Structure 1
Amino acid sequence: MKNFIYIILLGLFVYSCGSTRDRKLGDSQTNQDTVRIANDSLEYEIIIIEPGFNLFINSIARPEGYYSQQYLENKNRFLVSEFNQRVSQPQNYNPDLYLQEINYNPSIDYGYEVNYLLYNYFVFFSRHYNQKFSVPTRI
């Protein structure tokens, strides 16, 4: 009887170790690190797929409302401009980091949330990949 219990416990242990094999761990991490913002009336969409960004935005970034929308718009104008210049210069900047240009028009009111997430993406990007952007401190 004692050996039978050990065999059952060993069988449960082996079964529990083997059951994690079919999980798609990469997919769940990707879904957790995908931020999508869309507004059909303005016809814009932002999709941020960056491992660690959700953790950053939920725990490290300054909370929504900390910055004014005008502050964020001014910062984003300069950050997007410099980012797009780096995209167009793959010989000088890592093309694996700067994949495609960001279509940001400063004359469009994207609202607070879009500007907040875009600005914080640049903060995350610069910290995570050790990139320095030359944005004026006073705008």
Structure 2
Amino acid sequence: MVLSDRHHGITQLGMLMSHSRPRVSNDNPYSEALFRTVKYCPAWPTKGFTSLVAVRKWMLTFEHAYNKQHLHSGINFVTPADRHRGADAQRLADRKAVYERAKRLNPKRWSGDIRRWEATGSVSLNPGKPQEIERNKDAA
């Protein structure tokens, strides 16, 4: 059966199935997260777009800024492009050195340790429940 072959391939990759349920906000978490991010972007035009070309131009500008300029809190304030290229570890090491130097130079300004500037582990949107992930591994 096509569905079971597809399901088997997806679970082998460690992915959870999407069942395309209507009115379920996390059915496609990646699309939902993108829609919300775009919708609340301060640069979103309040009066809409004048043409499809304008939409495409805006989205390309947004995508560039989001991936190559915006510092994401979920990955310790580096860009997704830095994370993808593996440049995040060096950026975070440099940042940690700056903070350590600042603390050494003026220890009275610090009440505790500096922020943790290590690279984050794996990141996902709406990660599955541990028992669901295990069930999918067993089914594979």
**TM-score, L = length of structure 2:** 0.23
Structure (1/2) with the larger strand percentage: 1
Bigger radius of gyration: 1
Q: TM-score, normalised by structure 1?
A: 0.23
